[in-house]
A and B are shown apart, each in its own frame.
Chain A
Amino acid sequence: MDAARHRPVWIDVARAVVELAALLAVVGLGLRVLDQLPGMTAGVARGVQRVDSVAALERQVSHKMPIPAYFPDTLVWPPNDLLIFGGASASMSFRHRLAADTWLIVAMAVGTTSVAPQVLPPATPLQAEGTTVRSLPATVERLRDLDGVIWYQLTWQTSGATRLVRYRGTLDEIMLIANSMDERGR
């Protein structure tokens, strides 16, 4: 007791700071783990929300989702997965009729920001080139996903949104799909 009273004050101060920092770190870590649980349960990345209809998705992002007028008949409508991140990025995934794997992803980010990676499956870019979509400057990329499958991806900017189409088929088909999306998104 006496020893505690006679030690320099700065030791008590330093101890209080360190103990508070440690406590905040523990609480923060605990909260972070708690925050991960719903995403793990739903099978999506942290902060990603899964919705069950295009209408619900459009309501959440307050923006029309671009839907291609050209839609290969090898793909299944409606989308099998609809994801939203941060209220601004959204994606729709479409399955192949025979393979049952995701074959087409149409995504959008409201504003000029790029589409959040959380709503897209991870992939490694292999090559990128400039092109045009409906006379607008665009980027076409070749990507390889975690299973080693090659995808094409087109990204371009329209008024008020960034658009992205990722397709597992040919380059000609992805260009047709992207060019069939009008300015209003429908």
Chain B
Amino acid sequence: MLDTAGLVILHGCIAALLVEALLRVWRVQDPSERLALRWLALVAPVVLPVAFHVIAPGRSTEWFGSARAIFAGEHWNQVTVGRTGVASLATVALLIVGCLLYLRDALPFLDDRVRGLADRDANPGHPELARVRALLDKLQQAVGAPAMAVVLLERRTPVLLCSGVDRPTIVISTGTLSRLSDDELRAALAHELAHAARRDPLMGWLLMVVRTLASFSPAAQVVARQVVQELEYRADVTVARLGHSAALSRAIAALADIPDSETDLVPPRSPRGFPRGLLARAERVAVGNRCERVFAQPEPTRAGLGALRLGLAAVGMTALLFFVV
């Protein structure tokens, strides 16, 4: 069991690094291609060990590890600390880190989705609802989003989310409306509509399923966060193409300063009980980078090249990971 977990962790690290390097070497700017490559780094380490086990059972033998593998984690058990091998120790340590990272993100996600964020403090008769509806109606066609329900929450903290797999809903709070100008609100709503147009709420659930399957792998948890960032980047690019970059940047900055903001426009905060110091600094840097990035005009990948590069990366990664045991 520990060996299998160790292999998934090892494959996860290699896949994540390989994809990170490919994004840089190939200079991939297209948000959809970036997202597809990140998904590859997330899913391959979970699927491939099982597939290899079925297709090539001989790969699990010690002979393969010694004679054919490029890298065998088991070899690191020759180096011992006390009486325990380094590979086993590293696996246990990384397993704990992976579980903590998983809980850090999964608990707030499940809290929001399972308990029903929209059902709390909803005010269907609020006068501001008409303002939001009017903006959404104007943006909907431009973004290509389906018809959206709107839930307005009577709450001082900013809330702005797109949720709902079957029936896409924009959840917004009075706290958000009071802090954003019309321009900023338009950009922020366009961002949420872009999520709905791409069915990102469904993607969020799929992501959580994969994260749960690989909840012990720190690499999977980090890559899952990168997938979320790519989803956000893709929505930001849609807003930028509508010409609302500056307003979106201002909206992000305005909402990022408020503690307990519940919006995908700012990076997720650590739940209570997790150390804050360094993370808070990292969050500030992430907000700064995001504000700058909304002005980027990514060059779309040439037709067909993205799919081909994804296929090449999948084949190359499979070939490499086959010889890592």
Contact = CB atoms under 8 A, between A and B. Distances in A.
Interface in A133-186: none
B63 interface: yes
B206 to A, nearest CB: 26
A147 B65 CA distance: 31
A1 B299 contact: yes
A72 interface: no
Interface in A4-51: 5, 9, 12-13, 16-17, 19-21, 23-24, 27-28, 31-32, 34-35, 38-39, 41-42, 44, 46-50
Interface residues of A, number: 34
Interface string B279-303: 0000000000000000000010010
Given A38-B76, A86-B65, A24 B26 contact: no
B17 interface: yes
B14 A27 contact: yes
Nearest to B79: A38
Contacts of A94: none
A41 B78 contact: yes
A107 to B, nearest CB: 15
Contact of B302 (A5, A21, A50, A118): A5
Interface stretch (B139-147, B190-198, B308-316): B308-316
A62 B78 CA distance: 19
Given A16-B26, A20-B313, A88 B62 contact: yes
Contacts of B67: 47, 85-86, 116
A87 B320 contact: no
Contacts of B18: 23-24, 27
Nearest to A49: B78
Given A16-B312, A20-B313, A39 B66 contact: no
B305 A16 contact: yes
B319 interface: yes
Residue of A21, A35, A39 with highest tally of chain B CB at under 10 A: A35
Nearest to A118: B66
Given A23-B22, A24-B320, A50-B78, A9 B70 contact: no
B66 A17 contact: no
Given A1-B299, A86-B63, A31 B75 contact: no
A49 B26 CA distance: 40
A27 B17 contact: yes
B63 A87 contact: yes
Question: 6 closest Cβ contacts across the A-B interface?
Answer: A87-B62, A47-B66, A86-B63, A31-B71, A86-B66, A35-B71
Interface of A: 1, 5, 9, 12-13, 16-17, 19-21, 23-24, 27-28, 31-32, 34-35, 38-39, 41-42, 44, 46-50, 85-88, 116, 118
Interface of B: 14, 17-18, 21-22, 25-26, 61-67, 69-72, 75-79, 86, 299, 302, 304-305, 308-309, 312-313, 316, 319-320, 323-324
Given A44-B78, A49-B78, 9 more contacts: A27-B14, A27-B17, A38-B77, A38-B86, A41-B79, A47-B66, A86-B61, A116-B66, A118-B66
30 contacts: A1-B299, A13-B308, A16-B26, A16-B305, A16-B309, A16-B312, A19-B25, A20-B22, A21-B316, A24-B316, A28-B320, A31-B70, A32-B71, A35-B69, A35-B72, A38-B75, A38-B76, A38-B77, A38-B78, A38-B86, A42-B79, A44-B78, A47-B66, A47-B67, A49-B78, A86-B64, A86-B67, A87-B66, A88-B63, A118-B66
